[in-house]
Structure 1
């Protein structure tokens, strides 16, 4: 039996969370997936064939080969800057399936014009079609990302985004490979590219006919066609949620980073690696496989939740392998026009390909959770306009990347040096974003702790609410209890914690970064005591999760202590459901106290990767809450193992 979302689109049965590939068997996802796949493939078949044509085959006096990729990339991105605001409004106002079919009709018309350009070697017509295909993608972008949270639930969202990201880059791979191979065919290559572009557009339009209706989320919206004022309004709308807005900046930086590499692959293959068109295609194959692999890994590594802790991991990998790509590109043996087999026969080239594969894999780990977070945290009524704001920022960053890369090339910098500079800049930008949005860094710490310090198993995780206010109560076993609860929750948690824990090195800094609420005994500091309850009430009033440890201190003997009455004072102000939790098998580990000594004194007290668990019980209504009732619920969860 299926359920339906608020917009009336069929979703998965409650409690059922199939593997992400299972979505390809469901009509709510499969036709959309293949439609966007065909569109992305056609975009890149067209663009790469055109780029190869002007880089290797035609002599165009006003378009130098080394600048062709930058010009074509910038022209494709320009419509995102000009028309994204209008596109976001149209997507919120109209049925998304209607929008998709309109966009696919437009694609067919554009490809017919492009066919004429390829047939006559008319670079001006093909540049016009590049701009028009950018317009086609501008209209499709908000639909693509606004549709997913309308048809997928929270536990499917990371997997769905991973599938779309993987599909997009596999389509890029196939489009680029096919485009590069076809255009290189002697005599008939450009004609064959024209035929392929038109046929692929028609196939995509046919598949779009099978996408189920996805009703408008704001049908009463009055569309403002002024791109300047609406762009400013969209950016202001996105800025209303700082976590979302800064995540948009993070994604835009990723596109800046990626655009530098993608736009330079033909010239990198020709001038640095000394390869032919097939080598340029191979670089795109490797890059696309890496992105696709990283995107699919997100669901596995995130336990099918929106796990933004993967974002810092992705950023680290992007920088490390971009920097190594610079060193791998130095001192390559001199050659000219290497074929694919000749290129692969040189050992030094395998390091280059490994760096490209790994930096793109980590880019997949970086981008998918960010997209899912934006979709999850944006208001449904204006989600498409938030996505449009994202596209506007992406366009600005990608155009900036083209301008900056062009300027650096013009100043005499080599392509590997540009890769090095971008890799180092990525480390600086990522650190800055993570300081602005500490949730990313905190989730990363929680993710690492729950997978590398311990083998962490969560039972009953479906009882952790994905929306609305609630209080989480848990036994207090160690100094990392809060970090493990963070790792288990799909949402941020604000903790009420003993003020003394903030004095613990490193952990105290992390908890301050997490905006944990310090509490002191009333007889010790009555002002801090009341301030803690005021802060707790605000958290719940804003619809967020609040966690407390009702024992009041970390257990010294491993046994559950008596629950204090502070929970009742919290619920008097904000009566919300209470979720009982129990951490198991954590007593005796490095971060817990033991009877004969303190915590964190014997690093390998229980070895590495010791198994710990979290059992989550069903919500207890506020009206039924008493400290003894909650203590009994937690005790039963502990007994269940």
Structure 2
């Protein structure tokens, strides 16, 4: 280890905005890490696929029949995730992550040197041992991979960084499989070539890892619990303390269940349904991998560079729609002789199958990336790697479960298209259940749709929204969807103090109750609701969350900014009494007056839907935070008025 790289500490994540996620590949805090994980994923799959092909087509042993080879190799690779994930999460939290990465890459070199002997000698027991050890390698690297990024990327970069890693992983898997299949088939030199390629890939990964800057431990005083069972249970309990994080772990594990069903059935789909040869099976893998990669990269574009979990329901909808359509596209294909790639591509019906496969995998990318980013952002930093390790265990269990269920369905006489239909319908049920348990996903989806397809919503100054800690957001009140637009602007959940009468509005009332908005009524009208609102507001701030209030006390009737009431001061005073000094952030919604959801001077709200045309342009200006002790209703009114003026002139 050279002194210049060993002693370099990672710089804090920069606050400037790069043009897009690809700019991270030019930065030392991300690029060496990206190529290190890329090389590891490629080498995993080069090794596994070459070994599978070798056992299936080239070597013959009685105790490992070809039909069982893929299953045994896959099971051996997954087993370490069940045994050692809990330990690997602890090690990642306890030690410098860069040192962990370099240790894992050193281990990979040692394993590949042993595997090289196994390939050259055609020794299957040695290669089975190396399969298990490469599973250990991946088990150790998994928590490091996802715990590293939140320490070097800021919130606006986290979605893009996860998208790049997800895309890179699936491209690496694809390249590793293709390279493994091609190299092992080389006449006379295939085994030796694979051996050399595996060692070279491991050396390349270790060389790149040397340039990863140091990332300090998040819990250096941690005492390692070497019992994987008790530690796994402890990690799940830690994750369960944040219910959104815990159910996101389950959501990600379901995505791996969903994906494993399709990946495991590609050979049968290609041969028995599409009547294609091995090249057609490879094409399906290529299409699936490209879809995942494109969907992962689209997340940053669609999320405006925030952690946007509103994309998760969109992804779930697409996964179900196109897996169900894949059933209809493939169930009635006429029988034919096994065809090559050119003959397969010449038939128009096959293009629908490939389009369904590409789109369901694209939406799987939209589904998974925001969930990973959410877990990274909201997990307690000292426990982040252990929570991710628990997720890896759940992923492995769900993937094993998918194999058992798919096998049971096939044994019961289901066809491959029927299994896809079953999976698509099950995905719809599971997604609906998750979104009802964690309504934040559904709320963010509604906000995301509203801000992009109902309005053209532009946010200025969103860097003033704090990524952590309590704050009071004070905004003008123009329409019945002001809260929805504020939700769309913030990567964090917001609790709203709202006029109790808005809860009577059909649909919107249900939506705001789902969002756990806080109803408030005038003291003279309902003193109990009045006091309960301030108690709940103080609790929100005490717990370090964002609280939004519309200080005008109601929706404007003429489009003008109204006088601010004194409720904002009572919230500040109640928070101070509980030891919370929450900053106040002024905000102004612009150009919303006169739209469908606002009142108009001669008429009510929600009449004549297209009175301002389609995709009406609206905006939100976010001001800088004020210390609460400097706030008065009039000074806050003046700040919001100034932001409104800025919006009118921009």
- Fold similarity call, TM over 0.5: yes
| Equivalent residue, structure 1, for 2:560 | 559
| Equivalent residue, structure 1, for 2:619 | 613
Alpha-carbon offset, residue 283 of structure 1: 1.2
Q: 1:330 to 1:182 in 2, by over 3 A?
A: farther
- Partner Cα distance (1:333, 1:59) in 2: 35
Q: 1:70 to 1:503 in 2, by over 3 A?
A: farther
Alpha-carbon offset, residue 615 of structure 1: 0.6
TM-score (norm. length: structure 1): 0.96
Structure 2 matches for 1:52-91, cutoff 5 A? 52-55=53-56, 68-91=69-92
- Partner Cα distance (2:487, 2:277) in 1: 50
Structure 2 matches for 1:460-479, cutoff 5 A? 460-479=461-480
Structure 2 matches for 1:292-331, cutoff 5 A? 292-331=293-332
- Partner Cα distance (2:422, 2:189) in 1: 41
- Partner Cα distance (2:57, 2:600) in 1: 71
Q: 1:355 to 1:57 in 2, by over 3 A?
A: farther
Alpha-carbon offset, residue 576 of structure 1: 1.5
1:356 aligns with 2:329: no
Secondary structure of the 1:10 match is: coil
Task: Note the alpha carbon deviations across 1:111-162, whole angstroms, 9 max, x for none.
Answer: 2333333334444443332222111100000000000001111111111111
Task: Note the alpha carbon deviations across 1:382-413, whole angstroms, 9 max, x for none.
Answer: 11111111111111111111222222223332
Secondary structure of the 2:472 match is: strand
Structure 2 matches for 1:75-224, cutoff 5 A? 75-224=76-225
1:50 aligns with 2:51: yes
| Equivalent residue, structure 2, for 1:583 | 589
Question: Root-mean-square deviation (CA), in Å?
Answer: 1.7
Kept after mapping to 2: 8 A contact 1:318/1:426: yes
Kept after mapping to 2: 8 A contact 1:69/1:266: no
- Partner Cα distance (2:67, 2:512) in 1: 50
Structure 1 outlier segments of 4+, above 6 Å: none
Worse-superposed segment, 379-388 or 140-149 = 379-388
Worse-superposed segment, 157-166 or 121-130 = 121-130
Structure 2 matches for 1:13-24, cutoff 5 A? 13-24=14-25
Worse-superposed segment, 276-285 or 388-397 = 276-285
| Equivalent residue, structure 1, for 2:489 | 488
Which runs of no fewer than 5 residues in structure 1 stay unpaired?
A: 1-6
- Partner Cα distance (1:69, 1:323) in 2: 27
- Partner Cα distance (2:274, 2:206) in 1: 39
Kept after mapping to 2: 8 A contact 1:77/1:398: no
Q: 1:12 to 1:236 in 2, by over 3 A?
A: closer
Structure 2 matches for 1:249-328, cutoff 5 A? 249-328=250-329
Kept after mapping to 1: 8 A contact 2:170/2:289: yes
TM-score (norm. length: structure 2): 0.95
Secondary structure of the 1:455 match is: strand
Kept after mapping to 1: 8 A contact 2:591/2:617: yes
Alpha-carbon offset, residue 54 of structure 1: 4.5
Instruction: Name the count of aligned residue pairs.
Output: 635
Secondary structure of the 1:560 match is: coil
Alpha-carbon offset, residue 327 of structure 1: 1.7
Kept after mapping to 2: 8 A contact 1:48/1:180: yes
Task: Note the alpha carbon deviations across 1:461-519, whole angstroms, 9 max, x for none.
Answer: 11111111111011111000000000001110000001111111111111001000001
| Equivalent residue, structure 2, for 1:455 | 456
| Equivalent residue, structure 1, for 2:3 | none
| Equivalent residue, structure 2, for 1:626 | 632
Kept after mapping to 2: 8 A contact 1:469/1:542: yes
Worse-superposed segment, 417-426 or 116-125 = 116-125
